[in-house]
Amino acid sequence: MSIVSFSYFGQGKKTLILFPGWTHPAEKEPKFIKELSKKYSVLSVNLPGYSHNQDTKRYHNFHNLTKELHAELEKKNIRPVAFIGFSMGCRLIFSYNSIYPNNIRNIFIGSPIRSFDLPYWASFIFKYEFMIQILRNNSVFSQICVNMALRNISSNPRAKFKPKYVSLIGAFDSLVGVINCVERINTKPFSLFIYGEKDKYLKDARNKNIQNIKIVDGADHNCVPGHEEELVKIIDEEMNT
């Protein structure tokens, strides 16, 4: 049984694969999925601990997750026309493309560009999978790490992770995964980057001279809520170029 699963929406001729944001599977944006499903078959990737997918006994880095994802696509004979990544999910796409070169169109929403700044202790322990394996099963330590990341992302010093769409272990594992993912940014001619106007990652993208960027006016890092129709229109235009 694969450690990666899919949720399925729509019955369009063209298939889109949605890669989740950190603690944010695509199912948390039902209106966006509903709009996409009017024209496309939409598959949402469920990592271990995400949505209905169970936790795994061992930690799996992005390299392993990528191989599992590819095996599932091959086994089910799924031929997507585009990968759509949300924040963390963009890093998973980078990993996939580095291992399996392809002609699949890439659409990155709120993509982190550079490496993350970490405390020394985190940089040290997250390098070693035997340490990760021990610490991931310590709920107190996992909660502290996940809360720290959530507060940094949300700029809310009181933010606290509550497992709903994602388990605590799933959140911890994917946090470590995105931190340790060092794959270079993908800049295929058929790649599109979408950012909210207020997204802090937009500045990094501009500094990297990324050319194909669309900006959602007034939106934050998660530029989907309230802008679903606009995003689907941008995606439609990209699919038809």
132 occurs within a structural domain: no
Contact present, 168 and 136 (Cβ < 8 Å): no
Got the DSSP string for 102-126?
A: ---EEEEES---SPPP--HHHHHHT
Contact present, 214 and 236 (Cβ < 8 Å): no
188 occurs within a structural domain: yes
Whole-prediction pTM: 0.93
Q: Where are the alpha helices (DSSP H) in 155-221?
A: 168-180, 201-207
| 207 pLDDT higher than 90 | no
Contact present, 175 and 22 (Cβ < 8 Å): yes
Total domains in the chain come to: 1
61 occurs within a structural domain: yes
136 occurs within a structural domain: no
Provide, rounded to the nearest whole percent, the portion of the chain with pLDDT above 70.
94
208 occurs within a structural domain: yes
151 occurs within a structural domain: no
DSSP state of 50: B
47 occurs within a structural domain: yes
Q: Which residues are within 8 A (CB) of 33 and not within 5 positions of it... i.e. 6 or more apart?
A: 9, 18, 26, 27, 42, 44
194 occurs within a structural domain: yes
Task: Read off the pLDDT of each residue in 31-58 and give the average, rounded to a whole number.
Answer: 96
CA–CA dist 4, 135 (Å, integer): 22
* Helices (runs of H) and strands (runs of E) counted in the chain: 9, 7
Quote the domain boundaries for residue 218.
5-115+184-239
Q: What are phi and psi of 203, to 5 degrees?
A: -60, -40
Q: pLDDT tens digits for 163-197?
A: 989 999 999 999 999 888 776 666 666 789 999 99
CATH of the domain at 220: 3.40.50.1820
Q: pLDDT tens digits for 133-168?
A: 999 999 999 999 999 888 888 778 888 999 989 999
| Torsion of Cα atoms, 61 then 64 then 66 then 69, to 10° | -120
Q: What angle separates helix 88-99 from helix 62-75, to the nearest 10 degrees?
A: 70
DSSP state of 51: T
